[in-house]
Amino acid sequence: MTNNHRPIVITPGEPAGIGPDLTIMIAQKKQKWPIEIVICADPNLLINRAKQLNLPIQLHTYQNKKNNIKKNGELTILPINAPDTITPGKLNINNSKYVINTLTRACQGCLNGEFSALVTGPIHKATINESGISFIGHTEFLANYTQTKKVVMMFTDNQLRIALMTTHLPISKITQFITKESLSNTIIILAKNLKKYFNISTPKIIVSGLNPHAGENGYLGQEEKEIIIPTLNTLRNTGYDLTGPLPIDTIFIKKYLKHADAILVMYHDQGIPILKFKSFGKSTNITLGLPFIRTSVDHGTAIELAGTKYINTGSINMAIKLAIQMINKSHEKNFL
């Protein structure tokens, strides 16, 4: 691969958390990234955090179409200034708008062709909401900002892929969002992106039930009989390779996983705990269906570890590597 691709933009997320630390630490890599990395953040934040970590850092101001891959300890910075004091480990609601501003600028750059992909660091949703800004999560923000009707959240550790039918919802509201149309759209988006970015010609997707034991033929809920099974049958008739709905308590056994390119679960806590138990700190969150590539870390802000060096860069490294892989696959498709 050449380095002629447009840069990847990273938003470090919550400034009091470990996001800034991660960006500084990836700049110390001995192996250069094959694509330019641009950090959308407050320059003083990175300089001050680097001092606290006792790591070298040199910032180069971002200039569209004029960037070069940097040496160890150097970063390209797209400056967005935070309005208030940033102290590692101390949340400050006055900086919530800053977090939104970095995301907005990064999205703009992806939409207008400046950047090849967006990699996001961890955010603190409660702090943003406490500041008066309604914020459910990155996935919902990106869908809303890009006016994308349907996106799909998928986690992967390069061995297991778990996609979500719904994202950040209270349990009491989940059934409202499980409809034939929504389930069909989710599977179509998932299959399309597995083909586009992972070179899987006919994706094998295993779908979970919503209720215990996948509804037990209607005795433990009607969603499987009324929504999930009819939708899967309709899609099978158009060529999709689908298995399910299977009970969530057995869907992750080897018998099924060895035949699966992806597992689609009905809600967040049916699937994400499995992947985090298996590969926490070594997996990546992807938003499928956006008009650009977006990957993210698999962990939170770890406020208590900010500024300490005691953090694992495995997930941010994987998020960048996967973004590069997806860029390359997309690039290949464009020239087939």
E strands present in the chain? 8-11, 37-41, 58-61, 74-79, 117-120, 152-156, 161-164, 204-208, 241-246, 262-265, 284-288, 293-296
Kindly report the pTM of this predicted structure.
0.93
Place of tokens 């090849």: 116
Which token pair is 256? 């099924």
CATH T-level assignment (fold) for domain 152-282: Isopropylmalate Dehydrogenase (3.40.718)
What pLDDT is stored for residue 73 in this prediction?
A: 83
Residue 149: the pLDDT is: 94
CA 291 to CA 165: how far, in whole Å? 19
Asked if 38 and 115 count as a contact pair (C-beta separation under 8 A), the reply is yes
Cα 3 to Cα 35, 47, 65, distances in angstroms: 5, 27, 12
Report whether 37 contacts 8 (CB < 8 A): yes
CATH 3.40.718.10, the chain: domain bounds = 1-148+290-336, 152-282
Decide which of 3.40.630.10, 3.40.718.10, 1.20.1260.10, 3.40.50.720 is the CATH code for 1-148+290-336: 3.40.718.10
Structure tokens, 246: 């299977």
Predicted local confidence at residue 1, as pLDDT: 37
Q: What is the pLDDT tens value at each position of the chain, 336 positions in all?
A: 344 589 999 999 999 999 999 999 988 875 578 899 999 999 999 999 999 999 999 999 998 766 665 677 889 999 999 999 999 999 999 999 999 999 999 999 999 999 999 999 999 999 999 999 999 999 999 999 999 999 999 999 989 999 999 999 999 999 999 999 999 999 999 999 999 999 999 999 999 999 999 999 999 999 999 999 999 999 999 999 999 999 999 999 999 999 899 999 999 999 999 999 999 988 999 999 999 999 999 999 999 999 998 999 999 999 999 999 999 988 765 533
pLDDT of residue 57: 93
Residues 182-214: tens digit of each pLDDT: 999 999 999 999 999 999 999 999 999 999 999
